[in-house]
Amino acid sequence: MNDEFRFILDRAARGKMPRRAFLGRAAALGVASTAATGLLSKAVLAQGPRQGGSLVVGMQGGESTNSLDPAVAASQVPFLYGYCTGETMVTIAPDGSLVPKLAEEWEASANAQTWRFKIRSGVQFHNGQTLTPEDVAQTLRRHSDENSQSGALGIMRGISSIAVDGDSVVLETTTPNADLPYLLADYHLLIQPNGGFDDPTSGIMTGPYKWAENEPGVRHVMEKFDGHWDSSVGHFNSIEILVINDATARNSALQSGQVQLINRVEPRVAGLLSRAPGVSVESTAGRGHYVFIMRCNAAPFDNNDLRMALKLAINRQDMVDRILRGYGSIGNDMPINAAYPLFDDSIPQREYDPDQARFYYERSGHSGPIDLRTSEVAFPGAIDAAQLFKESAAAAGIDLNIIREPGDGYWSEVWNVQPFSASYWGGRPVQDQMYSTAYLSTADWNDTAFHNAHFDDLLIQARGELDMARRKTLYSEMGQLVRDEGGLIAPMFNDFIDAHNDQIAGWVANPAAEMMGGQAAIMMWSAS
Same structural domain, 404 and 484: yes
Domain check: are 400 and 274 in the same one?
no
Is-contact 423 292, C-beta < 8 A?
A: yes
Helices first, then strands: H and E counts in the chain: 19, 21
Q: What pLDDT is attached to residue 260? A: 98
Whether residue 202 lies inside any domain: the answer is no
* pLDDT score of 28: 74
The reported pLDDT for the residue numbered 48 is 74
CB–CB of 234/225 below 8 Å?
yes
Alpha carbon dihedral 191, 196, 197, 201, in 10-degree steps, equals: -160
* Domain CATH number, residue 212: 3.40.190.10
Q: Which residues lie closer than 8 Å to 309 by C-beta, 6 or more apart?
A: 357, 358, 359, 360, 361, 364, 396, 398
- How far apart CA 383 and CA 135 sit, in angstroms, is 43
What was the pLDDT predicted at 288?
93
In a domain, 150, yes or no: yes
- Number of alpha carbons in the 13 Å side-chain half-sphere of residue 495: 23
Query: Is 360:305 a contact under the CB 8 Å cutoff?
Result: yes
The residue type at 172:
E
H-helix or E-strand spanning residue 292: strand 289-294
Last residue of some domain: 196, 219, 248?
A: 196
Largest CA distance in the chain: 77
246 and 345 share a domain? no
Q: Yes or no: say if 352 and 319 are a contact pair by the CB < 8 Å rule.
A: no
Count of structural domains within the chain: 4
Same domain, 159 and 108: yes
Residues 102 and 187 in one domain: yes
Intervals of the chain under pLDDT 50: none
Question: Does residue 383 lie within any of the structural domains?
Answer: yes
Co-location of 451 and 510 in the same domain: no
- In whole angstroms, what is the distance from residue 14 CA to residue 28 CA? 21
Question: Is 97 domain-assigned?
Answer: yes
Contact (Cβ atoms closer than 8 angstroms) between residue 217 and residue 243: yes
510 contact partners, CB below 8 Å, separation of at least 6: 94, 284, 286, 516, 517, 519
Same domain, 401 and 502: no
- Domain end (from 145, 170, 196): 196
CATH of the domain at 365: 3.10.105.10
The answer on 512 and 463 residing in a single domain is no
Specify whether 178 is located in the same domain as 323.
Answer: no
The sign one gets for the Cα dihedral 153, 156, 158, 161 is negative
CATH number at residue 176: 3.90.76.10
By residue range, what is the domain housing residue 480?
289-494
pTM across the whole model: 0.80
Are 517 and 368 part of one and the same domain?
Answer: no
Q: Are 104 and 90 in contact (CB under 8 A)?
A: no
- Distance, in Å, from the CA atom of 229 to the CA atom of 224, rounded to the nearest integer, reads 12
| CA nearest neighbour of 411 among 456, 364, 378 | 378
82 inside domain = no
Residue 67: inside a domain: no
Residues 263 and 297 in one domain: no
* pLDDT value of position 34: 63
Q: State CA 185 to chain mean position distance.
A: 12
182 and 253, same domain (yes or no): no
Burial of 41 (0-12, 13-18, 19+ CB in 10 A): middle
d(CA 400, CA 417): 19
Please report the pLDDT score of residue 15 as a whole number: 59
The verdict on residue 127 lying in a domain is: yes
For residues 179 and 472, what is the distance between their CA atoms, to the nearest angstrom? 14
How far out from the chain centre does Cα 411 lie? 14
Residue 33 has what pLDDT?
A: 65
Q: Is 81 contained in some domain? A: no
Chosen domain end from 155, 175, 196: 196
Residue 320 per-residue DSSP state: I
